């Protein structure tokens, strides 16, 4: 009895010697990868396939470059966000919009900037001549008029 097995693409025949001695010819049918001359039509088709593959590769490279640029931009934004948040955490504070009120002290001629949420004084500065001239006499409380 003859058995057939594929080993590394080569067919081997194994069997008992008495089986081989009784047969005059042993044959096996199968396929092999061999060189085949192409027709002109097949060459044209392969050329079309080559051109299409090059177009697809070029398109892929453009897409890759655009995608890479997008990812670099997103990565840069995330890095900026990380750095900003790290600075905020390190400082323990951040700048935010806060409602404030400026008030003019007529006696000292100072303008005080006060937070409305905590009532804390943010800053005090001298009033400019223009700011002092902008105040009409009737706006000054009588107790503060000289």
The predicted pLDDT at position 94 comes to: 94
Q: How far apart are CA 11 and CA 27, in angstroms?
A: 11
Tell me the domain boundaries of the chain: 39-94, 100-144
What is the reported pTM? 0.45
Candidates 124, 146, 126, 129; CA nearest to 137 is 146
How high does pLDDT run on average in the chain?
A: 83
End-to-end CA distance of the chain: 131
pLDDT digits (tens, 9 = 90+) for 20-74: 556 677 778 899 999 999 999 999 999 999 999 999 999 999 999 999 999 999 9
The predicted pLDDT at position 8 comes to: 46
pLDDT above 70 (res 144): no
pLDDT above 50 (res 80): yes
Contact 112, 121 (CB under 8 A): yes
């Amino acid at each position: 009895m003859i058995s057939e097995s594929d080993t590394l693409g080569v067919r081997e025949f194994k069997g008992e010697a008495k089986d081989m001695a009784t047969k005059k010819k042993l044959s096996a049918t199968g396929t092999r990868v061999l060189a085949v001359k192409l027709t002109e039509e097949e060459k044209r088709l392969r050329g079309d396939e080559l051109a299409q593959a090059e177009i697809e590769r070029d398109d892929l490279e453009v897409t890759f470059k655009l995608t890479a640029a997008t990812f670099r931009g997103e990565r840069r934004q995330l890095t900026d966000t990380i750095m900003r948040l790290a600075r905020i955490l390190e400082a323990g504070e951040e700048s935010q919009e806060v409602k404030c009120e400026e008030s003019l002290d007529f006696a000292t001629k100072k303008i005080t900037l006060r937070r409305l949420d905590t009532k804390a004084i943010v800053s005090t500065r001298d009033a400019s001549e223009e700011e002092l001239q902008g105040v009409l006499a009737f706006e000054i409380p009588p107790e503060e008029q000289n």
